[in-house]
Amino acid sequence: MRQFRPAELAAYLAAGHTPVLLDVREPWEAGICRLPGSVLIPMRDLPARLAELNKDAETVVICHHGVRSYHAARYLETAGFSAVINLAGGMAAWSDEVDPAMPRY
């Protein structure tokens, strides 16, 4: 599975790439901070909501520190998703490496 550090993802997005940004955190977490345009599907809901996602779309999976997203990304791969990327370090690292103004929790 591919992994991006936050700075890599920021550069990738700035270059015009448009992956699906799949946020697998809980709604209360996304209420504190989230990447614009991200799709919120909490990890526990992912199996029941797979049909909402395109298996062929490049998908970056996001969570707080990169652990849940890693497991969710592995799950997506086993479900037949062909281009899955984990955001290593998650939103905490995004606020450290890309956007220091983003709230932390």
Active site residue 63: yes
Looking at 63, 76, 84, 91, which residue is catalytic? 63
Do 19 and 85 contact (CB within 8 A), yes or no? yes
Q: Tell me which residue of 26, 87, 101 sits closest to 58, measured CA to CA.
A: 87
Active site residues: 63
